[in-house]
């Protein structure tokens, strides 16, 4: 089976690849770090039976130029971002994706954001490194510096202990989750391991599917009202666009923290900003934004009660290994006459 691999590929899985084919070539993004241009892809795809891609644009032109293509693989969760699935379906070509390749990475990042903001880790790290506010340098009434040693454990209202301590423990708190897919399940595992009570809003998942994690299925209002920590982990579909609205944010406790590592379209960012700026909620951790990269001067950058990361929750060095393992297993399932776990157009195998 002649194979073209333009995705990042974990070479420790070459032995698995060679049970599928010994006729393979690495090229494109996985080799150079740059997407192969469409005209070059159109030339390269001729004679290829198995394509394993990641960021290359496999559009209608490329698919029409493919004369022998039997399987398209996209090493991403959202294959539609780079694959024309409709064009592939018209040619009866199955499109596979690397479902859950970064679920663990996103789940860990979600918990890390919540800890960073609720325990003032990021804020105090910044103040220690880039200001004198948490050192022994104090200022007199005229603004001049004067050295004075103050214990960080002092109960003086200007001491670090008083200013930045007192964040909540996670133990025994209520963790509210919006979405219980592959990422959501991994987040719930970690919340459960921290001895939190997990509430989940996901109309497509039954209570029985949540029982093994001790999670409780509830409506969205209950998640927003009762949770001490809230995490968004759902996909963007018509039903979830704007799901976390101004009205829903207004239901949150003033002591609650909110994190979004999913997609910006799920959340009313203006409403979240207002709630943070007016101290109507305690804080937030954000990894996704309406405009990316986040523009310089964005209003969230001025808030002390928010921790921001530049859409890297799903990035971890282990992901290449995960995606390689996931997609090769599904290719083998198809070739063995079985049903793949992650297929975008199952009708072509019917």
**pLDDT tens for each residue of 47-59:** 999 999 999 999 9
- Residue 162 domain-assigned (yes or no): no
pLDDT of residue 267: 98
Tell me: pLDDT of 18 over 70: yes
Query: CA 295 to CA 292: how far, in whole Å?
Result: 7
**pLDDT over 60 at 150, yes or no:** no
pLDDT at 8: 97
Show Cβ contacts of residue 250 under 8 Å, excluding neighbours closer than 6 positions.
271, 275, 280
Report, as an integer, the average pLDDT of 200-209: 97
Q: Are residues 107 and 70 in the same domain?
A: no
Average pLDDT value for residue range 304-326: 96
Same domain, 298 and 197: yes
Q: Give Cα 338 distance to the centre of its chain.
A: 30
Q: In this structure, is residue 137 part of a structural domain?
A: no
Q: In terms of domains, do 77 and 182 share one?
A: no
Taking the C-alpha atoms of residue 331 and residue 243, their distance in angstroms, rounded to an integer, is 36
Catalytic residue among 43, 246, 292, 341: 292
Per the domain annotation, does 207 fall within a domain? yes
Answer yes or no: is 124 within a domain: no
Tokens read off for 137: 């340098």
Tally of domains in the chain? 2
Whether residues 239 and 294 fall in one domain: yes
109 is catalytic: no
Residue 152 maps to a domain: no
Count of CB atoms situated within 10 Å of the CB of 37: 11
CATH number of the domain to which 337 belongs: 3.40.50.720
**Residue 311 falls in the annotated catalytic set:** yes
Mark whether 342 and 275 lie in a shared domain: no
Range of the domain at 35: 3-101+318-349
Q: Which two three-digit tokens encode residue 301?
A: 């950058």
Same domain membership, residue 114 and residue 76? no
Same domain, 244 and 334: no
Are 107 and 38 in a shared domain? no
Q: How confident is the model at residue 40 (pLDDT cuts 50, 70, 90)?
A: very high
User: Given a cut of 80, is residue 153 above it in pLDDT?
Assistant: no
Task: Quote the mean pLDDT of the chain.
Answer: 94
Token code pair at residue 172: 């025994």
Residue 152 has what pLDDT? 57
298 and 235 part of one domain: yes
Neighbours of 178 (CB within 10 A): 26
Token pair of 194, please? 């921290």
3-state SS, the chain, equals: CCEEECCCCCHHHHHHHHHHCCCEEECCHHHHCCCCCHHHHHHHCCCCCEEEECCCCECHHHHHHCCCCCEEEECCCCHHHCECHHHHHHCCCCEEECCCCCHHHHHHHHHHHHHHHHCCHHHHHHHHHHCCCCCCEEECCCCCEEECCCCCCCCCCCCHHHHHCCCCCCCCCEEEEECCCHHHHHHHHHHHHCCCEEEEECCCCCHHHHHHHCCEECCHHHHHHHCCEEEECCCCCCCCCCCECHHHHCCCCCCCEEEECCCHHHECHHHHHHHHHCCCCCEEEECCCCCCCCCCCCHHHHCCCEEECCCCCCCCCCHHHHHHHHHHHHHHHHHCCCCCCCECCHHHHC
Q: Is 192 a catalytic residue?
A: no
Cβ distance 117 to 305 under 8 Å? Answer: yes
Same domain, 211 and 92: no
State whether 342 and 262 are in the same domain: no
Same domain? For 59 and 107 the reply is no
Q: Is 47 domain-assigned? A: yes
Mean pLDDT of 161-171: 86
**Residue 206 is assigned to a structural domain of this protein:** yes
Catalytic member of 76, 101, 190, 263: 263
Rounded Cα distance, 342 and 337, in Å: 15
Q: Whole-model pTM? A: 0.89
Of the chain, the end-to-end C-alpha distance in Å amounts to 22
Residues 6+ apart with CB under 8 A from 249: 224, 258, 268, 271, 272, 275, 281
d(CA 339, CA 325): 16
Residue 238 located in a structural domain: yes
| Dist CA 181 CA 103 (whole Å) | 9
pLDDT for 308 equals 98
Q: Which of 126, 192, 311, 333 is catalytic?
A: 311
């Amino acid at each position: 089976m002649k194979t073209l691999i333009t995705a990042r590929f974990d070479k420790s899985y070459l032995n698995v690849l060679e049970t599928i084919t010994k006729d393979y070539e690495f090229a494109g993004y996985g080799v150079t770090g740059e997407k192969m241009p469409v005209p070059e892809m159109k030339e390269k795809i001729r004679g290829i039976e198995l394509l394993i891609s990641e960021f290359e644009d496999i559009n209608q032109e490329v698919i029409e130029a493919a004369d022998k293509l039997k399987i398209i693989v996209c090493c991403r969760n959202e294959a539609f971002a780079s694959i024309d699935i409709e064009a592939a379906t018209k040619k009866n070509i199955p499109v596979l994706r690397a479902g859950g390749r970064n679920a663990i990475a996103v789940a860990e990042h979600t918990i890390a954001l919540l800890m960073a903001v609720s325990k003032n880790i990021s804020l105090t790290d910044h103040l220690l490194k880039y200001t004198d506010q948490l050192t022994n340098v104090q200022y007199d009434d005229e603004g001049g510096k004067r050295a004075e040693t103050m214990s960080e454990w002092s109960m003086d209202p200007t001491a670090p202990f008083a200013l930045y301590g007192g964040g909540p423990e996670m133990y025994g708190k209520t963790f509210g989750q919006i979405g219980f897919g592959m990422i959501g399940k991994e987040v719930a595992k970690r919340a459960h391991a921290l001895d939190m009570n997990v509430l989940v809003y996901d109309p497509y998942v039954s209570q029985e599917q949540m029982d093994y994690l001790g999670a409780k299925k509830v409506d969205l209002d209950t998640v927003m009202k009762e949770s001490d920590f809230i995490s968004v982990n759902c996909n963007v579909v018509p039903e979830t666009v704007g799901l976390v609205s101004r009205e829903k944010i207004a239901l949150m406790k003033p002591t609650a923290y909110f994190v979004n590592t999913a997609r910006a379209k799920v959340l009313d960012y203006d409403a979240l900003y207002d709630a943070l700026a007016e101290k109507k909620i305690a804080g937030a951790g954000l990894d996704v934004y309406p405009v990316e990269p986040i523009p310089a001067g964005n209003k969230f950058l001025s808030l002390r009660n928010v921790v921001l990361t530049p859409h890297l929750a799903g990035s971890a060095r282990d992901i290449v290994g995960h995606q390689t393992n996931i997609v090769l297993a599904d290719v083998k399932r198809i070739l063995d006459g079985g049903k793949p776990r992650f297929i975008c157009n199952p009708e072509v195998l019917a």
